[in-house]
Structure 1
Amino acid sequence: MLIRRAAPLSAAAIHHLRRFSTAALLKEVEAPPIFTYLDGFPRPDPKHDETILAIPRDASGKSISAKERKAGRVPSIVFEAEDGQHGGNKRIISVQSNQVKKLVNHLGQSFFLSRLFDLEVRPEFGSGEVVEKVRVLPRKFSVVELARNSSIRAIGLRSLHLHPSSDAVLNVTFIRAPSSAWIKVDVPLVFRGDDVSPGLKKGSSLNIIKRTVKYLCPADIVPPFIDVDLSELDVGQKIVAGNLNVHPALKLLRSKDEAVVKIMGARVSDQRKSK
């Protein structure tokens, strides 16, 4: 039996195989990038850190949700952050109404929705056993306003109005936020420097066009807010989304030319009155 030996590989072929194998190996072991907060950018205040406690729910539905609210619990859902918003791996839970209400009232709606929390799921409230512990970002929630005539009205996410005497959170959605996740976040804007703004010193008015701006953020560096400096803004000038000073890893999900704030000039009628 005649055995043919394979022809020896050329130097070029060996070099190509080595490059291919090395690239494949590096691709397999390549670690995801590590993101950290940078100096000069806002970071969450640790004094507001809090673990949200939850218990699992066996089923969902209007009647079950009504019973949960009556028992002082908020029906909630935890999603996987598959597409920057929400996806699979859904877990239905209930959280404590008083705890969520306290956080919303203390932080404010927009700041609550841009802050990461640890969430612990336990068999029941008061139990020391932890079924799951995960970092989450609140995605959306509704608020029930108790009117004077005792009727109940659901208030949407964008028009949160709390009754002066009584309010309650209707539901909350959470997104899992592991270090590998990228999450869409409406980051609140905090306006500073209005006391020294040349335009405002001349008597012009401040027109705030956007209170939040949407970014795709690495989960490890979700900003609690974005500082907007008005100190050098004169009459007729504006700040657009692309001019906001944010961590370089954040990806703007709006047009960079979209205005967020502008110093409005005085109207012609007002100028005539001042003469």
Structure 2
Amino acid sequence: MLIRRAAAQTTTAVLHHLRRFSTAALLQEIDTPVQFYYLDGFPRPDPKYDETIHAIPRVISGKNIAAKERKAGRVPSIVFEAEDGQHGGNKRLISVQTNQIKKLVNHLGQSFFLSRLFELEVRPEFGSNEIVEKVRVLPRKLHLHAGTDAVLNVTFIRAPSSAWLKVDVPLIYRGDDVSPGLKKGSALNIIKRTVKYLCPADIIPPYIDVDLSELDVGQKIVAGDLKVHPALKLLRSKDEAVCKIMGARVSDQRKSK
């Protein structure tokens, strides 16, 4: 009897140890951040367009302060934390150089500027050798003047490797020169210029290719047809149309006869 009881106690202790070990291993696996990489065949940012955005701290905000900043050739901006990948938490008020942001927006285009990661260096003043903060960021919002397209405000969000970020990824339409429908004289109806995805920060696509080469009259491409990195999560209905080859109207067909 004593031998059986001792054996049972030993078995219970071993099982308890194994459960603890398994649980610890599982928790360690869950807590270990997943590293994502760009895959062959998918667009990736062109390194020749990499640029460090320079900034200085801004102590207070307000319309008068913002106006003074713009008059001095600076753009009032904010850098938010990417706490849960989406919502802003801790924020830093900064000002960036108007000429630099204007050059980037003009060079890349607004949609492509808002889907590209940049290194951001905050210094006590422009030209200083001291770095207050250096961080990778994603431009989240860009406010332009309606009449002049002058840059009024920029909002950035920190983009560490652990972050998942909502991004409106630009679409680039290709193959229109060989599309059967377009060669017949039909028109391309572009419904979406961007599509929103939840992206791991390390593999934000600079754009998505939309292949029109096999599209015939009356056919369409929906969001679920787009070829993207498997880690990206579509934040729209997969059945939402992004483009369609429009057929000729009945009146147009009669005229052609």
TM range (shorter): over 0.9
Structure 1 residue 256 and structure 2 residue 238: aligned?
yes
Q: Identify the residue that residue 247 of structure 1 maps to in structure 2.
A: 229
Please state whether the residue corresponding to 1:106 is helix, strand or coil: helix
Query: CA shift at 1:15, angstroms?
Result: 1.8
Q: Is the 8 A contact 1:86 1:175 kept in 2?
A: no
Aligned pairs (5 A) from 1:104-253: 104-146=105-147, 163=148, 167-253=149-235
Q: Structure 1: where are the runs of 5+ without partners?
A: 1-5, 147-162
The residue type paired with residue 48 of structure 1 is Y
The residue type paired with residue 141 of structure 2 is K
Query: CA shift at 1:273, angstroms?
Result: 0.6
Q: Is the 8 A contact 2:56 2:124 kept in 1?
A: yes
Q: Using the alignment, how far apart are the partners of 2:87 and 2:68 within structure 1?
A: 26
Q: Using the alignment, how far apart are the partners of 1:13 and 1:262 within structure 2?
A: 66
Q: Using the alignment, how far apart are the partners of 1:115 and 1:194 within structure 2?
A: 26
Q: Structure 2: where are the runs of 5+ without partners?
A: none
Aligned pairs (5 A) from 1:5-44: 9-28=9-28, 30-44=31-45
The residue type paired with residue 156 of structure 2 is F
Please state whether the residue corresponding to 2:255 is helix, strand or coil: helix
Query: CA shift at 1:26, angstroms?
Result: 4.5
Please state whether the residue corresponding to 1:91 is helix, strand or coil: strand
* Larger relative helix fraction: 2
User: Which stretches of structure 1, 4 residues or more, deviate above 3 A after TM superposition?
Assistant: none
Query: CA shift at 1:225, angstroms?
Result: 0.1
Kindly provide the CA deviation profile for residues 165-217 of structure 1, in whole angstroms up to 9, marking residues without a partner as x.
xx420000000000000000000000000000000001100000000000000
Query: CA shift at 1:21, angstroms?
Result: 2.9
Please state whether the residue corresponding to 1:248 is helix, strand or coil: coil
Please state whether the residue corresponding to 1:120 is helix, strand or coil: strand
The residue type paired with residue 44 of structure 2 is R
Q: Identify the residue that residue 81 of structure 1 maps to in structure 2.
A: 82
Structure 1 residue 52 and structure 2 residue 70: aligned?
no
Q: Using the alignment, how far apart are the partners of 1:214 and 1:197 within structure 2?
A: 26
Query: CA shift at 1:9, angstroms?
Result: 2.3
Q: Using the alignment, how far apart are the partners of 1:188 and 1:83 within structure 2?
A: 24
The residue type paired with residue 169 of structure 1 is V
Please state whether the residue corresponding to 1:228 is helix, strand or coil: strand
C-alpha RMSD over aligned residues: 1.5
Q: Using the alignment, how far apart are the partners of 1:85 and 1:274 within structure 2?
A: 53
Please state whether the residue corresponding to 1:18 is helix, strand or coil: helix
Q: Using the alignment, how far apart are the partners of 2:9 and 2:93 within structure 1?
A: 59
Instruction: Report how many aligned residue pairs link the two structures.
Output: 251
Please state whether the residue corresponding to 2:214 is helix, strand or coil: coil
The residue type paired with residue 15 of structure 2 is H
Please state whether the residue corresponding to 1:9 is helix, strand or coil: helix
- Same amino acid, percent of matched pairs: 80
Query: CA shift at 1:10, angstroms?
Result: 4.1
The residue type paired with residue 126 of structure 2 is F
The residue type paired with residue 184 of structure 1 is K
Q: Is the 8 A contact 2:84 2:163 kept in 1?
A: no
| TM-score when normalising by structure 1 | 0.88
Q: Using the alignment, how far apart are the partners of 1:145 and 1:87 within structure 2?
A: 26
Kindly provide the CA deviation profile for residues 48-97 of structure 1, in whole angstroms up to 9, marking residues without a partner as x.
00000000011111111111011000000000112433321100000000
